[in-house]
Amino acid sequence: MLRLEPRAEVSKAWIYGSPALALLITIAVAGVLFIALGKDPVRGLSIFLIEPWANVRGASEIALKSIPLILCALGLALCYRSNVWNIGAEGQLLMGAIFAGGLAMWATEAKQSFSPWVFMWLGMLAGAIGGALWAGIVALLRDKFNANEILVSLMLVYVANLLLSYLVFGPWKDPQGFNFPQTVTFDDGTLLPRIFKGLRLHWGFAIALIAVAVMTVFLFRTFKGYKLQVGGLAPAAARYAGFSSRSALWTVLLTSGALAGIAGSMEALGPLAQLTPHVSVGYGFTAIIVAFIGRLHPVGCVFGAALLSMFLIGGELAQSRIGLPSALSNVFQGVLLVALLACDTLIHYRIRSSSRIKYAGEVAKS
C-alpha cells in the first residue's frame, strides 16, 4: 500500500511554482483531449492560449471577464485564510445584481436622470448591500446554530438563482421584450462608464485593482488582518490570545458577500445593461479556483483571474472556429483545479510504500 507521509520541510519555491506546473499539466491534458476529439492540438491550444491576447479587443475582454473573478476571489481568499469556507459567492453575486439591477430599473422606468459617475457608486452600494445580506444569512446560521457554512452558502446559491428567475420571468419582465425572460434595458445614465471608446471594458476594472491593493494592505499591514489569519492558521492560539472567532466570522463573510455583490452589480450595470437568468456564467464558482491559483493572495488573484478569463474566452472562440463544445473550458478549469490540488498535496507530503515504512521501523528498533 501507498501512504502519504508529511514532509519535514515544505519547499517555498514549489508553493509558488505549483500553479505553473498545474497549468502545464492542464495544457498537456488539453492536447490529449483535442487529439481524442479529432482536432489539431496545436490549433486548439493556440485558440485557448494565444488568440485571446492577439489584439486590443481580446485583451480588453479578458480584463472585462476578470472583474467579477477578481472581486469574488478577493472575498473568498479572505474567508479561506480565516478558515471560513464560503462556497456561495455565486449566490451573493446574483443578489448584488438583483439589488443593483432593481435600482437601475427603477431609475429607468421613473425617468430619473443620473450621471453615470454618480450612479456607478449607487449601484455598487446596492450590490454590496445585497451580497452582504445574503452572506449574513450564512454568518447568522453558523453563529447561532453552528450550521455548516459550506452547505448553507452553497444551497443559498440555488435560492438566489430561483429568485432571479422569478423576477425576470414575472414582475420584472419587460412587457415589450417579445416574451424573453429579461428586464427592460437600463438607461444609459445608470450604466458603468467605459474606459475606452468602442470597447466594453468599464471603470469597474480600476475599482477591482484598487480593491486588490486595499485587501493586500488589510491582510498584511493591519492588526485586524493579522488576527483573521491567526484565527485561520491556529484557532487555539487565537482563542488564547483573546481574538474573537465570532467577530472574524461576521467580518470575513460580510466582506466577502459585499465584494461578490459589487461584482454582480458590475455585471448588471456593465456589459449586460439588464437582468436575465444568465447574469453570471458561474463566476462565483470559478473564483474558487482563482483564489487557490493565486495562493490566497490578493495580487495572485489578479493573475488567476486573467488565466481563467483566457480559458472562458478561448472556449467561446473554439466553439465558433473549430466546432469544439463550449463546455470544454469548464473541463479545463476542473483539470486545472485537480492538478493544482495534486501538486499542493505533493508539496506537503511524499508518497511512501507501507513496506518501506515497516522496514524503516524495524531498522530503527534493531
DSSP string, 76-141: HHHHHHTT-----HHHHHHHHHHHHHHHHHHHHHTT----HHHHHHHHHHHHHHHHHHHHHHHHHH
**Domain chopping of the chain, boundaries:** 66-301
Q: Residue 68 has which C-alpha cell?
A: 467579477
Total Cβ atoms within 10 A of residue 28:
14
208-234 burial string, b = 16+ CB within 10 Å, else e?
Answer: bbebbeebeebbeeeeebebbbbbbee
**Spatial distance between the Cα atoms of 311 and 317, rounded to a whole number of angstroms:** 10
Q: What is the C-alpha to C-alpha distance for residues 25 and 177, in angstroms, rounded to an integer? A: 46
pLDDT for the residue numbered 237: 82
User: Cell numbers of 179, please?
Assistant: 416574451
Angstrom distance (rounded) from CA 288 to CA 266? 19
Q: What is the pLDDT of residue 357?
A: 52
8 Å CB contact between 338 and 22: no
Nearest to 225 by CA among 262, 260, 289, 233: 233
Contact 29, 340 (CB under 8 A): no
Q: Which residue stretches of the chain have pLDDT < 50?
A: none
Separation of alpha carbons 317 and 325, rounded Å:
10
Q: Give me the pLDDT at residue 209, please.
A: 98
Q: What is the pLDDT of residue 361?
A: 55
Closest to 94 (Cα-Cα) out of 309, 330, 263, 289: 263
Task: Give me the helices (H) in 234-297, please.
Answer: 235-240, 245-267, 283-293
| Predicted structure pTM score | 0.93
